[in-house]
Amino acid sequence: MIDKLIEKIIATNNPSVIGLDTDISYLPNEMKNKINSLEDGAEQITEFNKNIIDAVCEIAPAVKVQIAYYEQLGVAGMKAFSDTLKYARQKGMITIADAKRNDIGSTASAYSRAFFSGVEINGKRYIDFDSDFLTVNGYLGSDGLNPFIKDCKEYDRGIFVLVKTSNPSSGELQNKTLTEEDGATLYQQVAKLVKDLGKDLIGSYGYSDVCAVVGATHPKEAETLRALCPNMFFLVPGYGAQGGTAEDLKVCFDQKGLGAIVNSSRGILCAYKAEKYKGMDYVKAAYQAALDMKNDLNRVRG
Amino acid sequence: MIDKLIEKIIATNNPSVIGLDTDISYLPNEMKNKINSLEDGAEQITEFNKNIIDAVCEIAPAVKVQIAYYEQLGVAGMKAFSDTLKYARQKGMITIADAKRNDIGSTASAYSRAFFSGVEINGKRYIDFDSDFLTVNGYLGSDGLNPFIKDCKEYDRGIFVLVKTSNPSSGELQNKTLTEEDGATLYQQVAKLVKDLGKDLIGSYGYSDVCAVVGATHPKEAETLRALCPNMFFLVPGYGAQGGTAEDLKVCFDQKGLGAIVNSSRGILCAYKAEKYKGMDYVKAAYQAALDMKNDLNRVRG
């Protein structure tokens, strides 16, 4: 699946992903005013997402759908999550389910069925949350990741394992030095695990289907990781609303300008609220913000 | 919420939790035969769960509902998850949503709304996955945990943070020594973080609402943690199907026989398939297995 993502990045000349972390509070008032229940909320969010996807599908390669914002709307929200993924795929976009799943082997297999392989009933495969990529958390070690990796091979999918996250307190554990590992930090050790687990899934651009999440807010760590893991593709959150700039994340790209895809969520979805895009409706503002992001990233990558 | 859980453990004289990790493959043939879609699967699983809850609600204090097994059945599965939680609560049981959620602060807040505080629409709170406790993963550090802890205070809830997990590869990262922490391991450092974050939420039995997951399959680590963290209540997976015995997890309890609740999932749900409970239907077998587990645990705790 990583080859397909890279081909799409090349075709659109755009290394960015549109984050659909759609909260009710992001919607324009005329949509908010129609909401009197979780079902209404899920319906308006689905419509909002579809309009955003229509606006950006020609210029951006992928969407990242953050499941927490749908889960908070309950069962109806999960339907909105499913419908959003389906619509993005229908419009030719690569889909990333941002769910940071993690568990013991047998349970990780159930999660992998939820997002990748589906449940078999009387010989037929059923799946509601079908995604090209899934984010996962590696705290449980390799046997919590292997079920996903098995399905990456069998069903042509990819995973992004949390290596160095974008949040302010990410260093509390991730930047600790491991005595047994000659001064490697925890995030570097997770990167090593990801590298080892992904070595048999390297595609034609030199990148593996087993990828990493590396925050734009930590450029020093990103630079270290880029050098340590030449076959590891990065999903880079933290650009825009969280404070990361294009200059910060320049180090995530390789010499060909590949190797990373940068996410923006609020910066696109709420663009219509920004001074810069004043007078535009949310669809036009999102399109313009996505275009500005593309140009900003292309300015810095090789 | 930890006080309520402990009171329920005392009232039932039972430190165990029934794990509803209900997979279609666990159902008896007459239920499996009715399944031709995800919706059918979700319906049969809901019925199965309700019958299990009816069987154990008088003798066991709590259920743990593993969300992965519902998510794999898509939107209908999430309705089964919601209905199972509601039914267990209605029957007076404490509910633990086993979802191991983790993300940056703003997203962790959305997860906390999903399970604890609900979404506010026109001044009214709506929530489908209302749970007393939630399992979470601490890899992102304190700002990914604080939104849950805030809601633990405001809405009387509790969290179980993954400290030392029960799976075979849990040591790959969790047992590494941290150079900056005088020989403390990663799992001990997570425990320290959990301890610090929970110090203002200690209830009348001396335990905090901010609790830990500690696997029954690692008794040495459990013993260390029990000594290091006297105010930390443990959720102990790994008993039964995963290989942990009552003798292994004896060290999780304090001198009064409190301080831990032990989970069994397959051992209860699939009891009817075991030689020991031959001839019983799944409801009777689950009841008997839950009773046997209670007696087995009471044999070893103080």
* DSSP H or E stretch at residue A154: helix A142-155
Residue of B nearest to A109 (CA): B68
The answer for A3, left when phi > 0, alpha when psi is -120 to 50, beta otherwise, is: alpha
Q: Is the pTM of this model over 0.95?
A: yes
A-facing residues of B in 25-64 (CB < 8 A) are 35-38, 40-41
Average pLDDT, chain A: 97
The predicted structure's pLDDT at residue A99: 98
- In the chain, the amino acid numbered B207 is Y
A237-275: pLDDT as tens digits: 989 877 889 999 999 999 999 999 999 999 999 999 999
The yes-or-no verdict on residue A302 having pLDDT over 80 is no
The predicted structure's pLDDT at residue A198: 98
- Check if A100 is active-site: yes
> Where are any strands of DSSP class E within chain B?
16-19, 62-66, 94-101, 119-121, 124-126, 133-136, 158-164, 210-214, 234-236, 260-264
Interface test with B, best of A104, A145, A161 (most B CBs within 10 A): A104
Q: State the catalytic residue, choosing from B100, B150, B192, B284.
A: B100
* DSSP H or E stretch at residue B275: none
Task: Round to whole Å and give the CA distance between A124 and B245.
Answer: 39
Name the DSSP class of A176. P
Task: Round to whole Å and give the CA distance between A152 and A3.
Answer: 13
Tell me which chain B residues have a C-beta less than 8 angstroms from the C-beta of A122.
35-36
The predicted structure's pLDDT at residue A11: 98
A200-231: pLDDT as tens digits: 999 999 999 999 999 989 999 999 999 999 99
Nearest chain A Cα distance for residue B246, angstroms? 21
Task: Round to whole Å and give the CA distance between A147 and A141.
Answer: 12
The predicted structure's pLDDT at residue A171: 96
Nearest chain B Cα distance for residue A73, angstroms? 7
Tell me which chain B residues have a C-beta less than 8 angstroms from the C-beta of A126.
37-38, 74
The answer for A292, left when phi > 0, alpha when psi is -120 to 50, beta otherwise, is: alpha
Domain B2-296 top-level CATH class: alpha beta
- Burial-class residue A171 by CB neighbours within 10 Å (0-12, 13-18, 19+): middle
* DSSP H or E stretch at residue A254: none
The yes-or-no verdict on residue A145 having pLDDT over 90 is yes
Per-residue pLDDT of chain B (302 residues; tens, 9 = 90+): 999 999 999 999 999 999 999 999 999 999 999 999 999 999 999 999 999 999 999 999 999 999 999 999 999 999 999 999 999 999 999 999 999 999 999 999 999 999 999 999 999 999 999 999 999 999 999 999 999 999 999 999 999 999 999 999 999 999 999 999 998 999 999 999 999 999 999 999 999 999 999 998 999 999 999 999 999 999 999 898 778 899 999 999 999 999 999 999 999 999 999 999 999 999 999 999 999 999 999 999 97
B65 bridge partner residues: B97
Residue of B nearest to A186 (CA): B173
- Burial-class residue A150 by CB neighbours within 10 Å (0-12, 13-18, 19+): middle
Q: Please give the angle made by the CA atoms of B204, B206 and B207, to the nearest 5 degrees.
A: 105
Domain A2-300 indexed as CATH 3.20.20.70: yes
- Owner of token pair 């609020």: A266
B-facing residues of A in 175-234 (CB < 8 A) are 176-181, 183, 186, 189-190, 193
Question: Averaged over A68-83, what is the pLDDT?
Answer: 98
The helix-helix angle for A186-197 and A219-228 (nearest 10°) equals: 40
The predicted structure's pLDDT at residue B110: 98
Question: Averaged over A46-60, what is the pLDDT?
Answer: 98
Question: Averaged over A174-183, what is the pLDDT?
Answer: 94
B216-274: pLDDT as tens digits: 899 999 999 999 999 999 999 989 877 889 999 999 999 999 999 999 999 999 999 99
ipTM given for this complex: 0.97
| B232 Cβ contact list (under 8 Å, min separation 6) | B191, B194, B195, B198, B207, B208, B210, B211, B212, B225, B259
Q: How confident is the model at residue A72 (pLDDT cuts 50, 70, 90)?
A: very high
Q: B245 — phi, psi (to 5°)?
A: -105, 165
Nearest of B46, B47, B40, B41 to residue B24 by alpha carbon: B41
Cβ pairs bridging A and B (under 8 Å):
224
| B235 Cβ contact list (under 8 Å, min separation 6) | B17, B64, B96, B133, B135, B160, B211, B212, B213, B214, B260, B261, B263
- Sorted by where each begins, the domain ranges of chain A are 2-300
Here the tokens at position B140 are 């992102």
A244 bridge partner residues: A239
The predicted structure's pLDDT at residue A120: 97
Contact B122 A176 (CB under 8 A): no
Here the tokens at position A254 are 């390789």
Strands B16-19 and A94-101: unpaired
Cross-chain CB nearest to B68 (options A77, A103, A242): A103
Interface test with B, best of A27, A36, A119 (most B CBs within 10 A): A119
- Do B205 and B6 form a contact (C-beta atoms < 8 A)? yes
- In the chain, the amino acid numbered A55 is A
